[in-house]
Chain A
Amino acid sequence: MDISKDLIAASATPLILTILKKEDSYGYDIIKKVKELSNNELVWTEGMLYPVLHRLEKNEFIESYWKKANNGRKRKYYRLKEDGLEELENQKKQWELVHNTLSKEI
């Protein structure tokens, strides 16, 4: 199934926030997780993910820190902040509204 660009862009924020809610993560891992969670349907590009991450950080929904991984490489991790959690609840409600509206039989 081809998912439209607009929908991918719109769903990026809630998906990233959801993943970060469970545990801190980094760019490469986020893309992988999204792919797994969506059964390979949602494949994000780096050019799309990082700008969103940086914007979320700027809006103070998430924060970043550098951490050494097991293989000795330094990775930039992202962590969900209080505001981000609120934003996630907010976005979820919006998605639910859209979903409920779509599911109603007309």
Chain B
Amino acid sequence: MFDLELNINSWTDHLRSSGKLNEDDILELENHLRDQIDELIEKGLSRDEAFIISVKRLGNVNSLSKEFSKINTDTLWKHLIVDLSDTDQKQTRRDILLVIILSLLAGTVTRVATLFDFWNEDLFVIKNFSFFILPFIALFFVFNRGTDKKLLSYVLGIFALTAFIINQFPSRVPNHTETLTALHLPILLWLVTGVAYMGLKWKANKERMNFIRFTGESVIYGSLILFGLIVLMAFTMILFEAISVDVSEPIIETLVIYAGCAAAITTMYLVETKKSIVENFAPILAKLFSPLFLITMVTFLAVIIFTGKSPFLDRNFLIAFDLMLVLVLGMVLYIISARKMHETSGIFDYLNVALITTALIIDGVALSAIVFRLSEYGVTPNKLAALGENIVLLGNLIGLLWLYICYFRGKIEFIKIERWQTAYLTIYAVWIAIVVFVFPILFGFE
């Protein structure tokens, strides 16, 4: 016997799964379907015939929801959730399973490592943190992007070798070089993971640009997910506090670790799957904030000049400036990456040049401060690392500025700027590797 209600329900469920319709829309369409069915039954059709014809008339769900999504542009964020077209539903299920398994693995490894409670004694966990998650992300790329197996073995080999070397280094107070290693290692290993992302063509400009883009999107996406998790955590705490149940420290710690790992891998998955739509995110933010950063930096420089105050007396500020310069460089890159190659130079190119120039001046000021401190207070690992980073950054900015000038004068194609920038990534990797591996030896692991 044909069950009309059951069939109507499964039809609306199918509408729901497209993720593009809200409950109101679905109810409206359901009623439409019912009206249609009633009319056909009145005309003498059987219930199942009426159902089939009505569904057919309403059009297939995909095209229907596509029409709706054109109107519901207010809910564009919904596109960011993976929508299921019938053909790649299977693929999606496989991917989600992969995300869950890898998250659990990464979480378990991290949890076990933290159980040894090296946390307080030395930097073991912090130093090794990248090894707990990044290999699993590399694995994800292999399954998801079909990275070459041989390449993966190299990547994992580098991970293993690095882990071995780093943990051979003795730990000596005051741990300056060890802290530097802990800070720089994740960046270095992220670049190594990037090779797994880029695949065999990891030297190619296009792949590297994609990876830069991917990194930026991951940061934005990851922050969103992290923010959500923090809210959830806060509410969980409040709820349990309300009933006076004390959640013990280890449980909270375990939850945080697993949630963090899951957030990281989910971020990779979402950014990768929704590439085409998400891709527009970072460049828009970059365009939005680059003028604001420019104003801030110019004002800052003007104030320094007029008041004659040096901002670099405290070394913490030096680090803050470096971070800001990296951020500015990131924005410059995103504006470049969003640019269409055949476009003629527009306002954002000039803005980029202004940003680069200002960053260059600030970097110059910072550099002079570091050199001053080096000559005044002697060489320390921190200062030397900062010096190297500022020089690398300076080289990057000068190169960009020079190429931009050449481009404005019509001497080179825009693609040259992009190529140069992606090639320059190697220099960053080399310097970071020096800080991670050579500095400890150079400074006697202190």
Question: Which residues in A have some Cβ–Cβ distance to B below 8 Å?
Answer: 26-28, 45-48, 50-51, 54-55, 58, 71, 73-76
Does any Cβ of A come within 8 Å of B64's Cβ? yes
Q: Contact between A27 and B71 (Cβ–Cβ < 8 Å)?
A: no
Q: Contact between A46 and B29 (Cβ–Cβ < 8 Å)?
A: yes
Chain B residue numbers with a CB within 8 Å of A27 are 28, 32
Q: Contact between B31 and A48 (Cβ–Cβ < 8 Å)?
A: no
Does any Cβ of A come within 8 Å of B27's Cβ? yes
The complex places the Cα of A71 from the Cα of B38 at a distance, in Å, of: 11
Chain A residue numbers with a CB within 8 Å of B32 are 27-28, 46
Q: Specify which of B34, B59, B71 is in contact with A46 (CB 8 Å cutoff).
A: B59
Interface centre among B24, B32, B34 (most CB of A within 10 A): B32
Question: Which residues in B have some Cβ–Cβ distance to A below 8 Å?
Answer: 24-25, 27-29, 31-32, 34-36, 38, 57-59, 63-64, 67-68, 70-72
Which 8 residue pairs across A and B have the least CB separation, nearest first? A28-B35, A47-B67, A51-B71, A76-B28, A47-B59, A28-B32, A54-B71, A47-B64
The complex places the Cα of A45 from the Cα of B59 at a distance, in Å, of: 8
Q: Contact between B57 and A46 (Cβ–Cβ < 8 Å)?
A: yes
Chain A residue numbers with a CB within 8 Å of B36 are 28
Q: Given A46-B58, A51-B71, does the pair A76, B63 have CB atoms closer than 8 Å?
A: no
Interface centre among B25, B31, B57, B59 (most CB of A within 10 A): B31
Chain A residue numbers with a CB within 8 Å of B28 are 27, 50, 76
Identify 15 residue pairs between A and B in the complex whose beta-carbon atoms are under 8 Å apart, listed by A's number: A45-B59, A46-B59, A48-B67, A50-B25, A50-B28, A50-B29, A50-B68, A51-B67, A51-B68, A54-B71, A73-B31, A73-B34, A74-B27, A74-B31, A76-B24
Nearest Cβ in chain B — how far from A92, in angstroms? Answer: 24
B36 and chain A: residue at smallest CB distance: A28
Nearest Cβ in chain B — how far from A32, in angstroms? Answer: 8
The complex places the Cα of A62 from the Cα of B389 at a distance, in Å, of: 61
Chain A residue numbers with a CB within 8 Å of B67 are 47-48, 50-51
Q: Specify which of B25, B31, B68, B72 is in contact with A28 (CB 8 Å cutoff).
A: B31
Chain B residue numbers with a CB within 8 Å of A26 are 31
Chain A residue numbers with a CB within 8 Å of B34 are 73
The complex places the Cα of A43 from the Cα of B35 at a distance, in Å, of: 16
B34 and chain A: residue at smallest CB distance: A73
Q: Contact between B31 and A75 (Cβ–Cβ < 8 Å)?
A: yes
Q: Specify which of A28, A46, A58, A75 is in contact with B64 (CB 8 Å cutoff).
A: A46
The complex places the Cα of A27 from the Cα of B30 at a distance, in Å, of: 11
Nearest Cβ in chain B — how far from A82, in angstroms? Answer: 23
The complex places the Cα of A49 from the Cα of B389 at a distance, in Å, of: 60
The complex places the Cα of A96 from the Cα of B31 at a distance, in Å, of: 36
Nearest Cβ in chain B — how far from A80, in angstroms? Answer: 18
Nearest Cβ in chain A — how far from B143, in angstroms? Answer: 37
Chain B residue numbers with a CB within 8 Å of A73 are 31, 34
The complex places the Cα of A54 from the Cα of B24 at a distance, in Å, of: 11
The complex places the Cα of A46 from the Cα of B29 at a distance, in Å, of: 8
Chain B residue numbers with a CB within 8 Å of A50 are 25, 28-29, 67-68
Nearest Cβ in chain B — how far from A102, in angstroms? Answer: 30
Nearest Cβ in chain B — how far from A58, in angstroms? Answer: 8
The complex places the Cα of A75 from the Cα of B57 at a distance, in Å, of: 19
Chain A residue numbers with a CB within 8 Å of B71 are 51, 54-55, 58
Chain A residue numbers with a CB within 8 Å of B29 are 46, 50
Given A28-B31, A51-B68, 19 extra CB contacts under 8 A: A45-B57, A46-B32, A46-B58, A46-B59, A47-B64, A48-B67, A50-B25, A50-B29, A50-B67, A51-B67, A51-B70, A54-B71, A58-B71, A73-B31, A73-B34, A74-B27, A74-B31, A76-B27, A76-B31
Interface centre among A26, A27, A50, A75 (most CB of B within 10 A): A50
